[in-house]
Chain A
């Protein structure tokens, strides 16, 4: 069912950047949660979703549980550059009220 989902993890001193590509559904949520891994207090997790074409409710669950972890462990999450299809689902679940959704002008994603 899953067509080429991929997640890249780039960790620097105070930021963990996860680049998600393809379709985020129930078959790959474990891979995403695993990729996040342990996060140090005070650091920032960026979900770069510019190449994500689809997200379903299990993907939303990953984002909501990141938000809950971040609040309890003292770090932050942001979502970068969602495509319209993904943005629509994020808005439906009001994800933006808790996780900043950033549209980086320096890129045309």
Chain B
């Protein structure tokens, strides 16, 4: 049993600022009544056979009741000092007869209308040692509390504290869940933005059109295309890229984003498309373990520059199907001898192929989703696509893309993968 001075002024705990901080952390003050705490005070009152049981939180200038059984008061001033005294020690603070106890005889709760005689309060101690308040039982008649019963009161206070910890943990888990969800959504949005088919630019003297058809029922596809004009050292160069990353899912999506961004940045200074593909290969091999092949990327890249005769195009390919050239006169060729796919091996030799396009000529870059399609005659293949387009003889970039769309939409044709394509027309 604690000894004390007969005074209304109860000293504040040494760690008061931190203690108040802990109360804020548990965010319990001025919250609505809660069944769990009301059940504990009801059980405490019944067990100790007292009229009043309270879960109190000792705030800076008041004592707020989270639960009050047998008394219709929500809070009292901190000064009378019963609960404020109880939080100064680790064991239950007990006054068996307040009318004669020098610590409390002048207390207004004792001398006043309530006529409090018996008070026993066990501190609510957080896991890190702060005493937030008490579970206290009160009677208007003096009584004794054996040590065993004081221990029971301390156990009940621990149950109150468990409830508070549980609520704090739940609140933190929800906050963490919200934070993670927000983070994931932000990441998904930025990945999606970088994977979505871009708008093709408007370039004078050229018409550009594109096609992107994700495979039905698949995740974000591995096919991508990009078309952009370069400033700086390569001023006036139009860069066309079509690629295919093996596999699906977030890792493949990250490889796709890496490929596209590397193409964009490397194209600023490279003198030929093969140089850009070398950089992409290095970027993809960076940090990879020797025997690990998670994803690789096939990529077809074209640099196009206007000249007096039309358009000068150089093409390099990393394991990608060649580009198709459809001439105004109806002839057709493939261009872009292939090197190995990017992201497989460090020795990576590539060649740049050149082709001169005249007004009325078309250039098509595509992924194998357009040729790995089942037709009544078997797999279409790149030869099949070439013949089909030669027969159809599209005159414009839009007409060429329309042909491809018609192919994929045909009920006789079964596509098995994503398909992407970029079509370019040299305007007459």
B417 within 8 A of A: yes
Residue B80 interfacial (CB < 8 Å): no
- Is the CB of B372 closer than 8 A to any CB of chain A? yes
Known contacts A92-B321, A92-B338, A93-B341: does B291 contact A57 (CB below 8 Å)?
A: no
Tell me the B322-349 residues at the A interface (CB within 8 Å).
338-341, 344-345
Given contacts A1-B416, A61-B247, are A92 and B291 in contact (CB under 8 A)?
no
Are A57 and B340 in contact (CB-based, < 8 A)?
no
A to B contact number (C-beta, < 8 Å): 62
- Which A residues lie within 8 Å of B296 (CB)? 61, 64
The reply to whether the CB of B381 lies closer than 8 angstroms to some CB of chain A is yes
**Interface pick from A10-18, A41-49, A69-77, A101-109:** A69-77
Q: Report the separation of the CA atoms of residues A68 and B291 in the bound assembly, to the nearest whole angstrom.
A: 5
Asked whether B291 lies within 8 Å of A72 as measured between CB atoms, the reply is: yes
Contacts of A65 in B (CB 8 A): 293
Q: Are A93 and B345 in contact (CB under 8 A)?
A: no
Query: Interface 1/0s, chain B 55-73, versus A by CB < 8 A?
Result: 0000000000000000000
Q: Is the interface of B mostly helix, strand, loop or mixed?
A: loop
B342 CB to closest chain A CB (Å) equals 11
Asked whether A61 and B293 contact (CB < 8 A) given A93-B298, A94-B319, the answer is yes
B379 to chain A, nearest CB (A): 6
Instruction: For A94, give its contact among B247, B293, B295, B340 (CB under 8 Å).
Output: B340
- Place the interface of chain A in its size category: 20 to 34
C-alpha gap A56/B290 in the complex (Å):
24
> Considering the chains assembled together, what is the distance between the CA atoms of A25 and B369 in angstroms?
12
Bound Cα distance A25, B246 (Å): 11
Q: Is the CB of A60 within 8 A of B291?
A: no
Contact yes or no, A56 B368, CB < 8 A = yes
Within 8 A of A (CB), among B359-412: 368, 372, 379, 381-382
Neighbouring B residues of A68 by C-beta, 8 Å: 290-293, 344
Q: Say yes or no for B352: interface residue by CB 8 A criterion.
A: no
Question: Quick check: A57 and B379 within 8 Å, CB to CB?
Answer: no
Residue in contact with A92 in the complex, picked from B247, B319, B344, B417, CB distance below 8 Å: B319
Q: Is A98 an interface residue (CB 8 A)?
A: yes
Q: Is B131 an interface residue (CB 8 A)?
A: no
Please, which residue of chain A has its CB at the minimum distance from the CB of B343? A64
A54 at the interface (CB under 8 A from B): yes
A70 to B, closest residue via Cβ: B291
- Chain A 58-86, CB-CB to B under 8 Å as 1, else 0, gives 10110011001101110000000000010
Q: CB distance B246 to A58 under 8 Å?
A: yes
Residue pair B338, A94 in contact (C-beta under 8 Å): yes
Determine whether B320 belongs to the interface, using a CB cutoff of 8 Å to chain A. Answer: yes
- Judge whether A34 is part of the interface by a CB distance below 8 angstroms: no
* Extra A-B contacts (8), CB below 8 Å, given A58-B247, A60-B341, A94-B338: A26-B247, A56-B372, A61-B246, A64-B296, A68-B292, A71-B290, A93-B338, A97-B340
> Could you tell me which A residues sit within 8 Å of B by CB distance?
1, 25-26, 54, 56-58, 60-61, 64-65, 68-69, 71-73, 85, 88, 91-94, 97-98
* Sample of 26 A–B contacts (CB below 8 Å): A56-B416, A57-B244, A57-B246, A57-B298, A57-B368, A58-B246, A61-B246, A61-B293, A65-B293, A68-B290, A68-B344, A69-B291, A71-B290, A71-B291, A72-B290, A72-B291, A85-B379, A85-B381, A88-B381, A92-B338, A93-B298, A93-B319, A93-B340, A93-B341, A94-B340, A98-B345
